[in-house]
Amino acid sequence: MKIRFFLGLFVGMLLGLGTTSMAQNDVYLFSSFRDNGQDGLHLAYSYDGYNWTALKKDSSFLRPTVSKDKLMRDPCILKGPDGYFHMVWTVSWNDLGIGYARSKDLVHWSEQQFIPVMAHEPTALNCWAPEINYDAKTKEYLIYWATTIPDRFPSTEGGKGDGKYNHRMYSTTTKDFKTFTPTRLFYDPGFNVIDVSIFQVSKKKYAMIMKDETKNPVKKNLKLALSKHLNSGFSPASEPISKLDWIEGPTVTKIGEDWVVYFDQYTRHKMGALKSKDLKNWIDISEEVHFPKGTRHGTVFKASKADVEFLLKQ
């Protein structure tokens, strides 16, 4: 296993893909799910951000235990300043909360928690695709997700939603994953929106990639918004950044000088990707990225060489 690891690392460095934007010992990891999310967390690794290999023979690292449906869809993992990998996920198609667990090594996990983030809205239909960021200024974790509350945004109900769904983004913050601030409306772009992923562009600039979930007329594409702050002030959504539609689950990393957005081509049953140097001009590189078969909506993040060596032994 060690020979395979160092050979791959050497090839990635030789190609010059992704090494300039990463710490010397960092490796790309990708969390995802299979099928309907019933068997839990899957992980893959890459040295260049383009070629991904499943870990643990593509079997689950953590099986879901919370909510009546016991699903683990859309797993989002962030390594916090406390040294823990923190994960949130979709537990059900129609529950009013999300899942949470943490781990030091991505193998041994804490007891799973159900966080009832929308329990105060009894008519809400769901909590989909939560993501997590850390705000170094406030020393808080920001968690955000998509929810439909019927009749809450009537101007885009009906023909501009998707059936009974008309999502907006909601959020909460926490310092310890024990107490949480009251849920608030986080982002309303004026249309049915899901699958938001936020990343820091510079010291005073954040970007948000989102899915326009409008079905009539069909949008189902990715758009971008900008802000000077992590948790507020995002601009109106841009025009689509991709010519493709029926895509979702964007997640972003930096490879060399390029911002790379991976996404789930869920009707085509494969992953895709875009790259840009300036967040304005985008190139589709879907044919250049290679993921394990069946990879669905997840998150790209970085781990140390030691972390990945441990995962390769599982």
182, 236 contact by CB (below 8 A): no
Query: What SS3 class is residue 234?
Result: coil
Instruction: Give yes or no for residue 240 having a pLDDT over 90.
Output: yes
Instruction: Give yes or no for residue 24 having a pLDDT over 90.
Output: no
- The one-letter code for the residue type at 298 is G
Buried b (16+ CB within 10 A) or exposed e, 102-119: bbeebbebeebbbbebbe
Task: Quick: pLDDT tens for 153-173.
Answer: 987 766 577 889 999 999 999
66-94 mean pLDDT: 97
Q: State percent of the chain over pLDDT 70.
A: 91
Q: Are strands 73-79 and 53-54 parallel, antiparallel or unpaired?
A: unpaired
Query: What SS3 class is residue 242?
Result: coil
Dihedral sign, CA of 46, 259, 185, 151? negative
Q: Which residues contact 236 (CB under 8 A, 6 or more apart)?
A: 189, 190, 225
Instruction: Give yes or no for residue 16 having a pLDDT over 50.
Output: no
pLDDT of 31 reads: 98
Using CA atoms, how far apart are residues 279 and 184, in angstroms rounded to an integer? Answer: 28
pLDDT of 5 reads: 42
Using CA atoms, how far apart are residues 76 and 260, in angstroms rounded to an integer? Answer: 17
pLDDT of 158 reads: 64
189-208 mean pLDDT: 97
Instruction: Give yes or no for residue 12 having a pLDDT over 60.
Output: no
Task: Quick: pLDDT tens for 278-314.
Answer: 999 999 999 999 999 999 999 999 999 999 999 999 9
